[in-house]
Structure 1
């Protein structure tokens, strides 16, 4: 590749984790607020890009569900009413991911793909308590407690947890909302039940995406008989535990990376064309572990790229439009092996700081995401490196939660044996299918649709084939046959 060609930066591909922390919330203003048990007062929605027939409302829920008479927060709701009310079946509640994503924004984006589903259902979305927290958390909660890196020994692990505990404590002390210790998915599930009651529905159908699978599973444990149907789209399976989910995903990542190396060997535009791209990557990571690469990020300052940074944040499974992400990755690797790590700088250093922000981590640590101690980290690393030599490493999200100062409110626990209807899951064979399928297998009679291409949260991405299966399931409650596959679109 000649030096006259424009350099690509991995940071320009829009790393979603950084975007989650920095995204602004949409301004959807409800007409009025209702307390739990009262019906919402629906009115026009303020804000841009809302469909003309969308209506908005709000309900109040307790900050702390163990103190129902205590302080309250307001959850904004939005609804698209069924277009054939005489044939209406009920309501479908979207459970957004992130965590911190605003489900009302999701509904606006997906409205055009909901035409068939809306014939028989009201589609309801909400901004969860994690979105409320993101909008109101104190500035100190957005300051990283440290810059994450994989601990090399117990001393470094202790230093990491100490720094993060200090950051969490400062965030909690500055919090005036009371939400800091109540962002767990059990609290979110009780919010979902308050929405069901406010809507006056005996049972609800649900569409959960990404991290939304965690509150969806919590709801299934607490209120199994209030679920008419549950569609899970690229959801994480917290029921089986975080280590289980990471270990399931690692071999898939290795397989996709092998696909990248074959693509590079066949593509002259790939900066590593003519070399063994896999061997170049492994050498780069090994050398960076021994001698970190100094870099300067225009957004995140000076730092060093270790092998852990590269394993955690370097490779993106989705090749992107016209393979743009894979082209950028190959070029970044080619430059990094010559000592120029700038192609990874924003990407890696940014996430190493974002995932050390106590306000971001507070939205997941209460769900048991952190390592329980150095011994657990070591045991996970032993299994991870065996499962995926190229990518087995300490998980960045769990490293930050290792310093969580409060009891885990929502530990991993089994789902109830009785009372649940069959679920439907969907996921990409390039990534999240293994998570979703591991969750649907826990519920007898459930099914999973495999999407044979890259992607995450297929319904919101407008993938027509998974949408058809989801609509059919939500309507007639029949999951597709085992082995159902949707081709890439």
Structure 2
């Protein structure tokens, strides 16, 4: 989140250097990791198998298989889209949609924390504690004495805090750890936040998964910022509408990480046009910190021939929770039985 011209130039130079390194290590492959290329790979495998396939797409998988449905509308038996992305929105809309979903889910964490013994911050004003930790990190990083800059960073900055908290909220299984992490950070020890983040430094990780999201996203999602003022305007937008988390989101990360990236925007954002006869099943929780319910409704309006199953709960995607949402999803995958339109589950 650069604030000065020097910080902005450092960001762009980092992006360019990372992109050049990826290009050197991967060769021409870097130019062909957009989602349309992945869709065609899936179709090639399907043709080799000789049968129609059923696809369960979670998170990014909803982009993959909604574009698959558009390109190959008669090649599949069933498609489930769980935790939905809608790419056709503008950059500012995407930032606003994801950032406000993150903040809304964070407030559900506050409610949970006030009601259960397993939250280390029960009975505390958690929003005030979070803001205090955030303001502390904005002045100087909080030490993480349990980290050594190899397994995790030895301190935590404001940006680390903002982006890592979104990661904590993805699954409610992480919520007890988030409460403990914020409590310890408020007492001057940010080890748990840094350990959860696990940012690779000093070549601690060599696997490409750390950079795949950037490489793919830069070919799929718009990133038109050209100068510091463009980025600062996005920061202001986030701070106004999500004042706790300041607009931190994967959308913001992509829109800034792709400035100076060497591969072109080869799969530019556009509405999904699906002309197939089979109805798709879409699934989304109301409080998803990454893929907003707003995106789910938007994508459903594009696909048209789909049923949206809503989970009245928190967390990113629903299938692996094993509750009623999973059962209804399995009924569609196994028997092509769709839930009634407007169905809302609590698990």
**The TM-score by the shorter chain falls in which range?**
0.7 to 0.9
Query: 2:299 — aligned with what?
Result: 439
Residue pairs, 1:383-462, within 5 angstroms: 383-395=237-249, 397-398=253-254, 399-416=256-273, 418-419=275-276, 421-431=278-288, 432=291, 434=293, 435-459=295-319, 461=320
Mapped to 2, the partners of 1:261 and 1:457 lie a distance apart of 20
Q: Output one character per residue of 1:444-472: Cα deviation in whole Å (capped at 9) or x when no partner.
A: 2422111223444433x152423443344
The structure-2 alpha-carbon separation of the partners of 1:464 and 1:246, relative to structure 1 and needing over 3 Å to count, comes to: same
Query: Which residue of 137, 145, 148 corresponds with 1:288?
Result: 137
Mapped to 1, the partners of 2:50 and 2:171 lie a distance apart of 45
Mapped to 1, the partners of 2:126 and 2:97 lie a distance apart of 24
Query: 1:172 — aligned with what?
Result: 23
Query: 2:165 — aligned with what?
Result: 314
Indicate yes or no: 2:196 matched with 1:347.
yes
Mapped to 2, the partners of 1:470 and 1:274 lie a distance apart of 38
Of the two structures, which has the highest relative contact order with CA contacts closer than 8 Å and spacing of 6 or more? 2
Q: Output one character per residue of 1:118-140: Cα deviation in whole Å (capped at 9) or x when no partner.
A: xxxxxxxxxxxxxxxxxxxxxxx
Q: Which of the two has higher C-alpha Rg?
A: 1
Mapped to 2, the partners of 1:356 and 1:394 lie a distance apart of 21
Alpha-carbon offset, residue 413 of structure 1: 1.1
Query: 1:194 — aligned with what?
Result: 44
Mapped to 2, the partners of 1:418 and 1:385 lie a distance apart of 40
Alpha-carbon offset, residue 475 of structure 1: 6.3
Mapped to 2, the partners of 1:319 and 1:413 lie a distance apart of 30
Checking the alignment, whether the CA contact within 8 Å between 1:370 and 1:402 is kept in structure 2 is yes
Query: Which residue of 363, 385, 392 corresponds with 2:216?
Result: 363
Query: 1:144 — aligned with what?
Result: none
The structure-2 alpha-carbon separation of the partners of 1:256 and 1:414, relative to structure 1 and needing over 3 Å to count, comes to: closer
Alpha-carbon offset, residue 278 of structure 1: 1.0
Checking the alignment, whether the CA contact within 8 Å between 1:422 and 1:443 is kept in structure 2 is no
Q: Alignment partner of 1:272: what SS?
A: coil
Mapped to 2, the partners of 1:312 and 1:386 lie a distance apart of 17
The structure-2 alpha-carbon separation of the partners of 1:458 and 1:152, relative to structure 1 and needing over 3 Å to count, comes to: same
Alpha-carbon offset, residue 402 of structure 1: 2.8
Alpha-carbon offset, residue 419 of structure 1: 4.3
Indicate yes or no: 2:156 matched with 1:305.
yes
**More displaced stretch, 158-167 vs 427-436:** 427-436
Checking the alignment, whether the CA contact within 8 Å between 2:277 and 2:305 is kept in structure 1 is no
Query: 1:338 — aligned with what?
Result: 187
User: Unaligned regions of 5+ residues in structure 1, if any?
Assistant: 1-149
Mapped to 2, the partners of 1:243 and 1:351 lie a distance apart of 29
From the two aligned structures, give the one with the greater helix fraction.
Answer: 2
Query: 1:15 — aligned with what?
Result: none
Query: 2:235 — aligned with what?
Result: 381
Indicate yes or no: 2:343 matched with 1:484.
yes
Q: Alignment partner of 2:169: what SS?
A: coil
Mapped to 1, the partners of 2:303 and 2:4 lie a distance apart of 40
Q: How many residues align?
A: 333
Q: Alignment partner of 1:391: what SS?
A: coil
Mapped to 2, the partners of 1:467 and 1:267 lie a distance apart of 25
